[in-house]
Structure 1
Amino acid sequence: MKSSQRLAKEYSKIQKSDNEFNISIDSNNILNWKAILKGPDETPFKNGNFEISIKCTDQYPMKPPKVFFNTPIFHPNIHFKTGEVCLDVLKANWSPAWDIFAICRAISLLLSHPEPDSPLNCDAGNMLRAKDEMAYFSMGEMYTQMFAIKENSDKK
């Protein structure tokens, strides 16, 4: 099955289900997707809406998509400048059984359960490894307020 056929089936399935994410495709290129993830409760990202880009290649699902946060976020496993996501299922543990919805769910879980031992954002990782949750939450909440809360993003 070609990647475009697989992605069309995935998108149709997503459209028919009641989703926790707002997922859309680029009308000009089915390989490019966007999703809005809600910041999970009991995290510094609560009340935030985070846009991610999901870029598949014509080798999908045999090769994982590239996933980037478009909304800046202070998280140890997300590069602050590039938005790159460090998640094992997008690298060594990828399987063609994964789909776009499952990727969004895994990223949402990553927001709730950061892995500070493999950071792309060393500042956030160092705070968590030092058990300084107050500093981590303060920085995460500040960036969420600045970039991911609707009222603030309307002012840009």
Structure 2
Amino acid sequence: MAGPVVMSLGFFQFTARGFSFDGRCRDQDTSWVSTPVAGGFDRLQWTGGRGRTETISGALFDEFGGDWSLEGIKLAAKQGQPLTLVSLGGAPFNAFGIFVVERISEDHGFIDQNGRPMKNAYTIDLRGYEGEMNLMSAAVGTVLQLL
């Protein structure tokens, strides 16, 4: 049994056991340009920034499964599909936004006698998607899919 769903990225559900995660990191990058001014302090001008990023990290263990979900996220990344990041820890839920997968890193370890990894530590790097997609409808669709 996978356990309760604690977060989802699109239709891919992170559970307490199986396709789980052990960390999530958020970053927002806003850019300012410094312009020299004669006889005074430099002036700052906001140029918009590079956006927001999320990093999800965890480890999959062969005995608990979860590999197919990671493969599904890789496929969504190859197809350029934006995904909604939702946590079920809030009331009724926390919709963090719509993201695209920029990178997936894997570190296979504990190789068995058949050459298969028993542990797959992974990191998924996401960047906020500012294209045309309604966050609320995407989030509600994801939550409905989870129920």
| TM-score normalised according to structure 2 size | 0.27
Higher helix fraction (1 or 2) = 1
Structure having the higher strand fraction is: 2
TM-score by length of 1: 0.26
Larger Rg: 2
